[in-house]
Structure 1
């Protein structure tokens, strides 16, 4: 008998028909002799609808504590309805909030991090032969306030629960048949990836691939949790995320890994350029520290010696577009102290990232990437690399085309179009 944690995203529990379909899958797994713990997201667009309600009653920034209280209602609805549907099929089920499931977090409302997971009540429910259902995306702080883990946080809940229960596998169910070489919504010819290393998955998640929450992959690597990404709409094999623990025998290493595993992209980025920084030690640190002090995470950074002002340099960096104005204000507040000339901000950029273990040993990859973009007339604004990734920043309105041409240039196109059962990717 295996212990499985199954996570179902919003599109998988979007309505009564979807919840009924999920209930049948859970019941079938349970009757096959497995212990089953389930993690659910809010139904469909419930979270967005709750955000709209909050904006209607409070157009300004709402109190973060109350926003967490509001948003966690969505998962509570899903867990209770799924428990009822499973009971209807003759299997006992019990639902738990994040707090009841032992998800302890820090005090950061809206972006809380897990500090401890003690799923005692979940374990007792499984020991009694019932299915345990846990509300994803949420926990409780040491002040006993409800907290949320950020958008996509149900993935992290599922992996953390699997680690705490010593589950054999964490199954992430979504509305596509696994992880693809690119987003099948913009590249219909994307191919399903049968397996990825955890390092490749981390890079793809960090660079904008929406199929898995970045912190969930980090948690899986730290606690050695195998992940199986599958569709709740079909019985396709899906994608295995390889960690230290051995998986099934048919996933033995090939003689040579593929050159490129996939292409990730991110549409919603901003770019700040600080012009005319004094070209002396400490000025770049002052700029980056000012941004970090207001809680904004920076992605790519490029610094160049200015060609128009002797003794100065320009520094550009990218960040989430929703944090753009806050970061600009923080930098501008330091202008007199640092002594730079000006700041420029753009919210119309995107990022394309080529990911694959084969990049380590193949020197032709970068040339092929840049040639494909040049042939399509796509201008590159910034470049960043790692051992298994090459990322480029380009204009947002050319990003989808860039992904398609690069996908074709690296011979990743499948013969038949990918199937998208839902519309969100979760």
Structure 2
């Protein structure tokens, strides 16, 4: 008998009919002899509805009270699902995050899990019950309800799987696994049978939205095998696990891309130690995250400094950079909101040369200019004009033969 933690997202429990289908799936697993802990999100659209309701009453809802409000979405779902499982003849019990005692810090709306008390869950499992837990939420040491931020139900599921030493954590969603890239851009994209934690972390951080990055970090840290499956179609999904040295790794596992990038450049900055800190310090002070960075040193003791930020932060970052330019006596500041980032990811890069040349050569044949490059041990990212994004993704997918299953 194995212990499995399953997580069902908002679309999976978005109506009474869908809750019934989830209950049937859970009962089927239980009848196969598995112990089951089930984590659920709020019904599709419910969290947005609650946020909109709060904003009708206040422009700046207090974090503590907003968490009290938002946590009710999952409370509805756990009750409905447990009722349905019971109606179908199997014992089930529901718990909110605070009832389980998923202990978090006190950062309302973006709390982090610190500890989980698994005693209640283990007792109920020993009694043959299906345990249904509200995702996305916990409580701080003073008993205040907290929420984990968008996608937090994934993190709840992985954290419970780690605490319970589950055999697998299954994430049910509206896609049937992790693909080599977005099938909406490349129809030939192939579902991966497996991918390593490292690759999934890169894919998630670079724009792939299948899983919340914090949940993958948690799974990697505690070595919890993750499987992404569809609630609506049968199939084995994609297993995300530690790298297996006995297996030959594909050269490239996938291509991620991000349309939400913007680029800023400050020209003619005095070239002296600490200049990067002087430029980026005021940006960081406003909680604006910087992604890619390039610095070019000229022959006149000045340097040009280019970096990217999320497009939503572009105007704020541009205003800060202009003030910094005046203070430093820089020559010019300019920016570009019409850029995109494409990344090729694969642990196979470690043992194969020529990935970069293949990537750059393939883009050049399509007259796609590269304005920035960033590399790590298992990824290469480039910044290009946004209008060439889909062409670039299709070109690289074909160049690395990702439509073909590795032999």
Mapped to 1, the partners of 2:131 and 2:111 lie a distance apart of: 23
- 1:317 corresponds in structure 2 to 307
2:350 to 360, 363, 374: 360
Structure 1 residues 396 and 361: alpha-carbon distance in aligned structure 2, compared to 1, 3 A threshold: same
SS at match of 2:99: coil
Task: Give the aligned partner of residue 121 of structure 1.
Answer: 120
2:34 counterpart residue number:
34
Q: CA deviation at 1:96?
A: 1.7
What's the counterpart of residue 48 of structure 2? 48
Write the deviation string for residues 210-266 of structure 1: whole angstroms up to 9, x where unpaired: 11111111111111111111112122111111227xxxxxx8943x21111011112
Q: 1-side partners of 2:317 and 2:354: how far apart?
A: 37
Higher mean C-alpha deviation, range 166-175 or range 74-83: 74-83
Matched residue SS, 1:367: helix
Instruction: Give ranges in structure 1 of 5+ residues lacking alignment.
Output: 245-250, 416-426
Which residue of the partner structure matches residue 17 of structure 1?
A: 17
CA deviations 1:33-71 (Å, max 9, x no partner) are: 21110111222232333344444444x554433433333
Cα separation, partners in 2 of 1:335 and 1:64, compared to 1, 3 Å: farther
Asked if structure 2 preserves the Cα contact closer than 8 Å seen for 1:102 and 1:120, the reply is: no
Contact 2:220–2:241 under 8 Å retained in 1: no
> Which structure carries more relative contact order (alpha carbon 8 Å, separation 6+)?
1
The alignment's C-alpha RMSD in Å is 2.4
Deviations 1:351-383 (A, max 9, x none): 211011221232222122122222333332211
2:91/2:130 contact within 8 Å kept: yes
Aligned partners of 1:64 and 1:410: how far apart in 2? 47
How does 1:3-402 map onto structure 2 within 5 Å? 3-58=3-58, 60-243=59-242, 253-254=246-247, 256-306=248-298, 310-332=300-322, 334-402=324-392
3-state SS of the aligned residue for 1:162?
A: helix
CA distance in 2, matches of 1:340, 1:305: 14
Conserved 8 A contact 1:283-1:338:
no
TM-score (norm 2): 0.91
**CA distance in structure 1 between the partners assigned to 2:67 and 2:324 by the alignment:** 33
**Quick one: structure 1 residues 394 and 147, their matched pair in 2 at CA, closer, same or farther if it must change by over 3 Å?**
farther
Find the aligned partners of 2:309 and 2:77 in 1 and give their Cα distance. 33
| d(CA) in 2 for partners of 1:67, 1:154 | 17
Work out whether residues 100 and 121 of structure 1, in 8 Å CA contact, stay in contact via their aligned partners in 2.
no
Pairwise CA distance, 1:15: 1.8
